[in-house]
Amino acid sequence: MKAKTLKSRPLSRIGLSGARSFRGRMLCVAVLAMLSPLGGASASTLIIGGGMAKDCSEAVIRGRNDDDTMRLCTAALQVETLSYGDRARTLVNRGVIQLRRQAYAEARADFDAAGRIDPKLGEVYVNRGAALVAEDRFAEGLREIDQGLALGVSQPERAYYNRALAHENLGDVKAAYHDFQRAAELDPKWTAPKEELARFSFKSR
């Protein structure tokens, strides 16, 4: 019997992932965002209980990354009296905007700040990992995403999608295939991982 190897055609996308929360309890959700030449990405935001922070999170969930939304999120951080948790989540929201604007260093700075406040917030790590993957820093991105998954995120399919991209760029086609497959299983309605899986084929050798 001939052995089979897994092949893939060139990558077309990069994915991102994150979280959202209500005051007093976490509720994470992924939102589809479009990034640069690398393609589609999903980012999750943090819902806050009220005020500008809540308006910021709702705007980010709707997919906005315009200057007005950036100013709104920044004003929430500067003006409102936020709990530590809500401040961390608002920083994640602003970081998601930076990701969508391809301002990866600025996005990582917001995720770093959020992580200093709440080091157990998994979305900090998977979003930071996504930014690193987008910067072609695949090994670093992989470590961050692994840590985020270990801490727990509400929509892990986004993290698996991003991890697949990192694996494939690092030459581990088999791991990439399994992560794309896992992402597709976790969210059957999400087309992005299915489109990536279509690039793969088994070859006899």
Cα-Cα end-to-end distance for the chain: 10
Provide mean pLDDT across the span 78-107.
93
pLDDT digits (tens, 9 = 90+) for 128-153: 999 999 999 999 999 999 999 999 98
Contact 35, 102 (CB under 8 A): yes
Q: CA–CA separation, 161 vs 149, rounded Å?
A: 12
Q: CA–CA separation, 3 vs 90, rounded Å?
A: 51
Q: How would residue 50 be classed by pLDDT, with cut points 50, 70 and 90?
A: confident
127 three-state secondary structure: helix
CA nearest to 98, candidates 45, 37, 152: 45
- The rounded percent of the chain whose pLDDT value lies above 90 is 64
Q: Which residues contact 73 (CB under 8 A, 6 or more apart)?
A: 52, 53, 56, 59, 60, 90, 93, 94, 97
Q: How would residue 48 be classed by pLDDT, with cut points 50, 70 and 90?
A: low
Instruction: Say what the pLDDT of residue 204 is.
Output: 62
Q: CA–CA separation, 171 vs 183, rounded Å?
A: 19
Sign of CA dihedral 54, 57, 63, 67: positive
Instruction: Say what the pLDDT of residue 28 is.
Output: 26
Instruction: Say what the pLDDT of residue 77 is.
Output: 95
CA 124 to chain centre: 9
Indicate if the pLDDT at residue 55 is higher than 70: yes
Instruction: Say what the pLDDT of residue 63 is.
Output: 86
Instruction: Say what the pLDDT of residue 47 is.
Output: 54
Contact 187, 155 (CB under 8 A): yes
Q: Does this model's pTM top 0.85?
A: no
Half-sphere exposure in the Cβ direction for 8 (13 Å, CA): 21
Burial of 106 (C-beta count, 10 Å sphere; 0-12/13-18/19+): middle
Indicate if the pLDDT at residue 114 is higher than 80: yes
Helices (H), the chain: 51-61, 67-79, 84-100, 104-117, 122-134, 138-151, 156-169, 173-186, 191-197
